Structure 1
Amino acid sequence: MAQETARHAPTAPATPARALLPLILPALVVGVTASLLLLLVSGVAEQLQDVLWGDLPDALGVGRYSVFWMMVVLTATGVAVGLVVWKVPGHAGPDPATTGLDAPVLPVGVLPGLTLAAVLMLAGGPSLGPENPIIAVNVGLAFWIGHRLLPRLPGRVWPMLAEAATIGALFGTPVAAALVISEALAGRPAKGALWDNVFAPLVAAAAGALTTDLVAHPTFDLGLPPLGRPDGGDLLAALVIASAAALLGMGAVRVFPYVHGAFGRLRHPMLMLPAGGVVLGMLGALGGHLTLFKGLDEVEELAADPDGWTAGEFATMTVVKLAALVVAASCGFRGGRIFPAVFVGAAFGLTAHALVSGVHPSVGAAAGVLGVLLAITRHGWLSLFTAAVMVASPTIITLLCFASLPAWLLVTGRPQMQLRADGTPVG
């Protein structure tokens, strides 16, 4: 009976090639443009970061990462971003606590302020990544320009192309974008075959990734000791660490609405953001300079010497970075939560390695990243992919697939680190 039902089940109609071919050129253009904009914003932010955290403290004769300077720069960053949110047209977009990777199409007048707020945030040290604002900017530009140049294309095409292109550019590979899009399509009614739906976004993602690879040569490999043939101990470690990391991430998700509400009671961006900067400065003083910024360069420094810190130091950085992520995302800084969550997960996994020497650092870091990302993003494929590319070992994927199962059971059906407009968590 089941076989008979399967034979007669309706199949999605195939999309003819003539409907897909006109999408290739727009997808290529969006992909290259999205990558170049990401690289431009990141490059400007890095130059400003060098001034704020290098040239300026050196000229003043103060320590680059002294407690005094961290308090000054993070508070000043809060003031600067607060001014942008308050005074610049569009107020730098919606409350960042309410946004995720699936960005809304913002009016074009909002995009300059959002871009400026993102650059200031990236340079100033708050624990957020570039992904959410850059995706929103690329989506807005692609829709605005594409809708005018090619009005016959459906409007929904442009946001999809821009989102895929930016994700491909961020990770340096179109695989991440394909996984995110496939996951999103799984919850929607089928309109054509899967590959028909991902064809144009995959072109955009590949173009974005290739452009980033050619210009910036990014890598997510942490350079941890290679993992050989895994054994039962590695599997047990991956299962335990991923589940524990998911619980840690869920703790942050749990307090997120309350921290957001506390800052929201200040009501004005010139109070919320400077107050957030002060708190972030104190957290930076507690956790050290590695707990600042988006976290990718800093996690590479951790991984370069996995035995260079004690379990207590790794644990402190884990907790401080997670707290800084919650505060930065709650008080109004424009940024994403994926990249700092990677630092939290890797530091958590290296804490396990420092506590139990039998835990391989590659297994600990990858499993920690997997668990924290599952809790914070609820993107299963993206979490699995990100954790896997951190370790240059094909055998890690099998361990992570097993580890994702209990971790997913812990997070599924629960809130994620994103809020609705009324402040309630998105389920």
Structure 2
Amino acid sequence: MPSITFKEMFSLFLQLVRWSFLVLPLAVVIGSFCALFLWLLEVVTQYRFTHPAILYALPVAGVAVGLAYYLWGGRSDGGNNLIIDEIHEPDAGVPLRMAPLVFLGTIISHLFGASVGREGTAVQMGGSLASAVARWFSLDKRDTRILLTAGIAAGFGSVFGTPIAGAVFGLEVLTLGRLDCSALLPATICSVVADWVCYQWGIHHPAYSMGFHGLTGADGRIFHVNALLLVKVGVAAIAFGFASRAFSEGVQYLSPIVKKFCPQSWLRPAIGGVVTIMLVWALGTRDYLGLGMVAPEAGGASILNFFGAHHYAWSWLLKLIFTVIALSCGFKGGEVTPLFFIGSGLGNALAPLLGVPVDLLAGVGFVAVFAGAANTPIACTFMAVEMFGGANVIYYAVGCIIAYLASGHTGIYVSQRIAVPKIWRKMFKPGVTIRQARLGKWTD
């Protein structure tokens, strides 16, 4: 029976030392920047809560960020999709200027009330810093791909406090239907260390109220899989997948319309800012501005409140509309935290209709809508365990998998390659991007 030799073990040890030398300093820097970023997000969010009139400057703030990208951004405007493209087909690299531009652009967007997220900023900071390190050390294409993957993992893991999910996300987000584990060790080291560094800076992530831990059987024991409840979660997961698709397709549909209406890229955020202000006037609430983790007023629609007893029927849809408009008009940040809002809000809305515990379905929706939009069901299952605990992991996994399938060949990252389609197609060439699949180009 073949066994690992001393030479192979020594080679593995050398690889561990080499990659540790590369990724440990990178992880410290990424974790520190993410800590600063999260602290500033908290500061500007609280400022906006106490000075609501600042919203009226959102169009001007958006134009300022747009001008910065127009004058100095260059390829940085490609965002997360540029990083994914560089991993698949290394070219000119990810510009280092992407990190400060997206950092400042996101902080400004949140200060003035744009409905955007934070994961895009963390991933782009991680990717641009990793690309810079790869250039400094003249790494070859394979090692550059691995280091970029580790940078994505570190940014994602530290910004959400989910280091294992971050490592898996860095591997899974690249190619639909396949995990390339060549970057597993560097991605895991980088994500875990970056999250630890972020924590050492005093950053603490929200604690979610998950009271459901299984149903009690006739014998008085708790069994964590109830057949009827699992079916209900599966039905809800179809709705979560449709919500993922609506979000992704909404951005892809509206963006070209805005571009045609306003060819000047730096001016488009002004449109989004004006429409956002009009929506706030019409609805009479500021609940759908910014991240949506907490509401400006007690009892308002927010991610944390969706895990409670109060019912929010249409908050998920309103957040979807606010965010699609903001992203389509060029505001910087990301999609993931708004997707958390949409998913947990939809779970809260469906829970009384399906007779499912509210906190359970809010938790499933939280990760499942993101799983469908990002095409990362495995990473999202890990994320649920890291955020909510492992007692309900089967419900989380089923929700993520079904939402992933129900969302179809769409996604927020159109540069993702497809290795295995969700529904097999006879005329299919592996390596087609989500962007091409949306246009029906399965063989190009």
TM-score for the superposition, normalised by structure 1 = 0.80
Paired residues of 1:362 and 1:391 also in contact (CA < 8 A) = no
Matched, 1:371 2:357: no
1:134 paired with 2:122, answer yes
Q: For 1:222, what is the secondary structure of its paired residue?
A: coil
Instruction: Tell me if structure 2 keeps the 8 A contact 1:257–1:423.
Output: no
Cα displacement (A) at 1:318: 0.8
Quick check: 1:115 aligned with 2:103?
A: yes
1:362 aligns with 2:359: yes
Show CA shifts across 1:118-139 (max 9, x none). 2212322222222223322232
Q: Which has the higher contact order (CA 8 A, sep 6+)?
A: 1
Which amino acid counterpart does residue 386 of structure 1 have in structure 2? M
Is 1:203 the counterpart of 2:189? The answer is yes
Residue number among 316, 319, 334 corresponding to 1:318 in the alignment? 316
Partner of 1:61: none
Of the three residues 302, 307, 313, the one matched with 2:305 is 302
Structure 1 Cα separation of the partners of residues 14 and 434 of structure 2: 45
- The 2-side partners of 1:22 and 1:74 are apart by 46
The CA deviation string for residues 43-71 of structure 1, in whole angstroms up to 9 with x for no partner, is 234333443442xx3xxxxxx3xxxx375
Q: Which residue does 2:161 correspond to in 1?
A: 172
Contact preservation (8 Å) 1:369, 1:383: no
- State the 1:220 CA deviation: 4.9
Q: Does 1:258 align with 2:253?
A: yes
Please state if 1:380 is matched with 2:377. yes
- Helix, strand or coil: the match of 2:201? helix
Q: How does 1:308-347 map to 2 (within 5 A)?
A: 308=310, 310=311, 314-347=312-345
Distance 2:363 2:275 in 1: 29
| Matched length | 391
Report the Cα offset of residue 186 of structure 1: 7.2
The offset of 1:419, in angstroms, is 4.3
Q: Is the 8 A contact 1:97 1:329 kept in 2?
A: no
For 2:247, give the aligned amino acid: A
The aligned counterpart of 2:428 is none
Report which stretch shifted further, 373-382 or 333-342: 373-382
Cα deviation code 1:59-109 (max 9, x no counterpart): xxxxx3xxxx3751433432332332334x125822558557777742234
Matched AA of 2:128: G
Distance 1:246 1:207 in 2: 33
Question: SS at 1:315's partner residue?
Answer: coil
In proportion to residue count, which structure has more helix?
Answer: 1
Match of 1:90 in 2: 73
C-alpha distance in structure 2 between counterparts of 1:98 and 1:19, whole Å: 29
Q: Secondary structure at the match of 1:19?
A: helix
Q: Tell me, which stretches of 5 or more residues in structure 2 are unaligned?
A: 3-7, 88-92, 216-223, 296-301, 416-432, 439-444
Q: How does 1:210-221 map to 2 (within 5 A)?
A: 210-221=196-207
Is the Cα contact below 8 Å between 1:42 and 1:119 reproduced in 2? no
Cα deviations across residues 305-351 of structure 1 (Å, max 9, x unaligned)? Answer: x223x4xxx23211110112211221111221111100100010111
The answer on whether the counterparts of 1:31 and 1:204 sit within 8 Å (CA) in structure 2 is yes
Determine the C-alpha separation between the residues in 2 that align with 1:190 and 1:179: 9
Indicate whether 1:406 and 2:413 are aligned: no
> Are the counterparts in 2 of residues 166 and 208 from structure 1 also a CA contact under 8 Å?
yes
Deviations 1:17-47 (A, max 9, x none): 2233121132111111101111222323433
Task: Give the gaps of 5 or more residues in structure 1.
Answer: 1-6, 8-12, 58-63
Q: Is the 8 A contact 1:174 1:205 kept in 2?
A: yes
3-state SS, counterpart of residue 251 of structure 2: helix
Alpha-carbon distance in 2 for matches of 1:248, 1:315: 14
Which position in structure 1 is the counterpart of 2:289? 292
2:63 is aligned to 79
Partner of 1:33: 29
Tell me the alpha carbon deviations over residues 190-242 of structure 1, each in whole angstroms, 9 at most, x when there is no partner.
Answer: 99xx4x64112211111111112232343354113333335334212211111
